[in-house]
Amino acid sequence: MLTAALLITALLFGGMVLYSFGFAAFLFTALPPEVAGPTIRRAFPLFYLFVIGISAAATALAWPFDARSAGLLATIVLTTLPVRQILMPAINRATDTGARARFKTLHGLSVVITLIHIVLAGVALARLAGTTAA
């Protein structure tokens, strides 16, 4: 089960890094803005569902081996829910209404939260990997 916890946590970490620094950046360099924007907008709800589901599974799998890692992963679950349900729609509304300053602020907040999630997943992954060495 520890191997499963490691693999699922690695999937979470890698998925968030790839999406944030690979997929999203690629869309805006490969597609015109009028196509990239709506495409990324359609992808984000799925990304957040991925983060919620995988971090919940990682939390459950990590719990028997390292409660602190499980707590970090649970933090990702609990903080991604309001990002998906409240912050993302607010970002979309700001885009739709042309509220550029509000968009920049809210988007910046979402970026900071995602970076924190990546760090938390990385710390949990490192801790779980250290458990296997003990």
* pLDDT for 24: 87
* pLDDT for 132: 63
- CA 121 to chain CA mean position, Å: 9
Spans of all domains in the chain:
2-133
pTM of the model: 0.93
Angle, CA of 40, 43 and 46, to the nearest 5°:
155
Q: What is the pLDDT of residues 57-86, one digit of tens each?
A: 999 999 999 999 999 999 999 999 999 999
| Element spanning 114, H or E | helix 100-133
Looking at residue 98, the DSSP 8-state letter turns out to be T
Please list the alpha-helical segments (H only) found in 18-134.
Answer: 24-30, 33-62, 67-82, 88-97, 100-133
By mean pLDDT, which of 16-20, 115-119, 129-133 is the weakest?
129-133
> Quick one: which of 52, 61, 47, 49 has its CA closest to 15?
47
Return d(Cα 47, Cα 82) in angstroms, integer: 14
Q: Is residue 133 over pLDDT 80?
A: no
